[in-house]
Amino acid sequence: MKNITRFLLKPTIEAIYDILHMENCKVNGIAGVPDRNKLSISPGHIDLEFDETFRAMHASTYIEYLPEIMIETANGTYKIPQHTAQFEGSITMGGEEKQHFDMRFNKLIQSTLVEGCPYFWRFIYPISNNEWFMKIKALPYADDFGTQHFFNLITADLEGHKMNLYSSNVDNNHWMIVESTEPITYEEMDHRVMSIIMALGFVIGKRYGDYCFHVASVEPTFSKIEGIEALSLKETRFCPFKILQPNSNLMVEWLRQFDYQQYALDEIQCTSENGTKWFYEEDASVTIEAFSKLAQLCYKTNDMLLATSMLIDGSLMNIEYQKPFFHVALETITSALIKEDELLLPPTMPQEYYMQEVVPRLLDALKGIMNLPEEAFWIFSRRIEHNLNSAPNANKLEICFSKYGYMLTREDKLAINKRNSTFHGHLTSENIPLWEQQSELLAMSLRLHKLCSILLLKEAGFTGKVLNNEVLFGIKDACERKEHIYLDI
């Protein structure tokens, strides 16, 4: 393949291995740490562990917030920022016997990195495989390890700034790499990566985390590494609610939970001479262009970035919390789209007729109320003149769907119209035990998640099939209505 994109990865992987294999380092900044030690990285924390006597370590263990600590290895010098490290676990005071010490922190920075300096950056996360295979119609690329990667490379355009997203497999270690194509500051890179990661997590159904490496270079090819930092993150989690699923094989067991799901199982299977088999739904995967637009939506406004994050995190919450969470997400997405497109909500009745015929009569009626306080008259008259004819809030949440040609069902509108009761503090029915409302709350959450997702995908230019999680999760009412397992949008 002559025109295939090629990436130089060896210097980057070597810089990562220098940290992952770090041991027997010289530690400066606190007293007593022996040269025989070992570093490890786990979700949520980085540890430098060693065995030493309390006598040797006692002066350091009394410090509540440890100062800046320097770690020297044969491959470079790294620092742990001040007040970010502490000793973990129990420490036995006194005695001459060696005990185990665990110095825990969340960030390790190579000293050659210059703060505020623009670099070419690679942000690198551990993953299990090429996770967007079949879900995003990606491109091939080759690396300097001699490996060709198919359906892997994604390019995203963020307001004219090109970013690369791809995965690699070195020594059976899979890495997701987000790469800038121009020198930028760390803060700008972090914002771009966050936008891409949120868009990817939404498409795949995953909250990325565990830990990551930030690799900096002054060369666009990353032939020479200027520095690297390691950062621990919250544990990676897979989201139960997924809006895209092109591989029907993964849905079979879900659709065998209840007999009333059989019709949906029939929809995703086809019969050949050799018996029943399942199929790949190509229309349920995202083009690079749609993914890039989705990432750009997150990049342009913080509200859209947070709303996309809420769709990822919402399905990880307790069922009781999901409905209000997704109502807020729907309100946020709708408000951002209305502002972007300068959409105007139609008034309840024609504004000219309202101002000429209705307002005078309402004001006359208001004036006729005996002993009405002046302040109350002023407030009520302002409302009559300026916002009484405005469309209800629920109408605002419906307006964008018609723009994209999606016809809301009765159940969709019911979920949207619960918005007012949610925002006025009525999260459940007080007349029914909470445990009896679990199925209804789950159904409402799944539907709101679907509606939010449709708005994001349509604004990104997606046309195809989305997953109906109410059917997949076996919500009886949805299955009895014979709702399709895939919805065309």
- Which pLDDT value is given to residue 391? 65
User: Which DSSP letter does residue 111 get?
Assistant: T
pLDDT (tens digit, 9 = 90+) per residue, 399-424? Answer: 889 889 999 999 999 999 887 677 65
CB 242 within 8 A of CB 203: no
Percent of the chain with pLDDT over 90: 66
- Which pLDDT value is given to residue 274? 64
In angstroms, rounded to a whole number, what is the distance separating the alpha carbons of residues 377 and 369?
9
Across the chain, which distance is largest between two alpha carbons, in Å? 94
Q: Which residue has the higher pLDDT, 252 or 52?
A: 52
Which tokens in the block code for residue 214? Answer: 């930030």
- Which pLDDT value is given to residue 89? 87
Q: Identify how many contiguous H helices and E strands the chain contains and give both numbers.
A: 16, 24
pLDDT (tens digit, 9 = 90+) per residue, 275-291? Answer: 666 666 778 889 999 99
- Which pLDDT value is given to residue 343? 60
pLDDT (tens digit, 9 = 90+) per residue, 8-23? Answer: 999 999 999 999 999 9
In angstroms, rounded to a whole number, what is the distance separating the alpha carbons of residues 411 and 434?
21
Indicate the pLDDT class of residue 62, thresholds 50, 70 and 90.
Answer: confident
- Which pLDDT value is given to residue 272? 54
The predicted model gives 358-382 an average pLDDT of 83
Of 241, 310, 253, give the one whose Cα is nearest residue 278.
Answer: 253
The predicted model gives 368-379 an average pLDDT of 83
The predicted model gives 52-76 an average pLDDT of 91
Q: Which residue has the higher pLDDT, 187 or 344?
A: 187
In angstroms, rounded to a whole number, what is the distance separating the alpha carbons of residues 101 and 88?
8
Is the pLDDT assigned to residue 273 strictly greater than 80? no
Backbone phi, then psi, for 168, in 5-degree steps?
Answer: -130, 160
CB 284 within 8 A of CB 204: no
In angstroms, rounded to a whole number, what is the distance separating the alpha carbons of residues 153 and 155?
7
Q: Where are the beta strands (DSSP E) in 136-210?
A: 136-137, 139-143, 148-158, 161-170, 173-180, 206-207
Strands 107-110 and 120-127: unpaired
pTM (2 decimals)?
0.88
Q: Which residue has the higher pLDDT, 432 or 71?
A: 71
- Which pLDDT value is given to residue 197? 97
Our CA dihedral for 335, 337, 341, 345, rounded to 10 degrees, sits at: -40
Indicate the pLDDT class of residue 231, thresholds 50, 70 and 90.
Answer: very high
- Which pLDDT value is given to residue 227? 97
Alpha carbon 286 to its chain centroid, in Å, reads 17
Which tokens in the block code for residue 283? Answer: 């229309």
3-state DSSP assignment of residue 305 = helix
**The residue to which tokens 């990325």 are assigned:** 208
CA 320 to each of CA 307, 312, 442, 475: distance values in angstroms, whole numbers, following the listed order: 19, 16, 8, 16
In angstroms, rounded to a whole number, what is the distance separating the alpha carbons of residues 96 and 175?
44
- Which pLDDT value is given to residue 427? 65
Is the pLDDT assigned to residue 251 strictly greater than 70? yes
